[in-house]
């Protein structure tokens, strides 16, 4: 089974590398497989590679579902 998750780009290092964030966790990813992404865009990431740019509304809907299911740190913190 594969899991690709939507994350937001918070910093571009260059055309090939970016920092993304999900639930306060930051990670370096490769942008080698996508074109035309900018800071603030959402991308789908799997094993360290951004696979595609994602519509912001679709990303937010997916993240809301993940939070409701307790699959992100945000939902866990809200229950504590």
CATH of the domain at 50: 2.30.30.140
**CA angle in degrees (0–180, nearest 5) for 53-20-4:** 55
Which residues have CB under 8 Å from 48's CB, separation 6+?
27, 28, 29, 30
Give the whole-angstrom CA distance, residue 42 versus residue 62. Answer: 11
Question: Which pLDDT value is given to residue 80?
Answer: 35
Dump pLDDT digits (tens) for 30-72.
Answer: 999 999 999 999 999 999 999 999 999 999 898 888 889 887 7
Give the whole-angstrom CA distance, residue 1 versus residue 19. Answer: 25
pLDDT band at residue 2 under the 50/70/90 scheme? low
Show the domain range for 51.
5-79
**CA angle in degrees (0–180, nearest 5) for 36-15-12:** 90
Number of domains in the chain: 1
């Amino acid at each position: 089974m594969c899991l690709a998750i939507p994350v937001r780009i918070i910093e571009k290092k260059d055309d090939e590398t970016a920092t993304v964030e999900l639930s306060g966790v930051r990670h370096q990813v490769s942008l080698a497989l996508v074109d035309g992404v900018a800071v603030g865009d959402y991308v789908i990431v799997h094993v360290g590679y951004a696979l595609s740019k994602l519509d912001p509304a679709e990303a937010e809907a997916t993240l809301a579902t993940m939070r409701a299911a307790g699959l992100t740190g945000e939902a866990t913190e809200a229950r504590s």
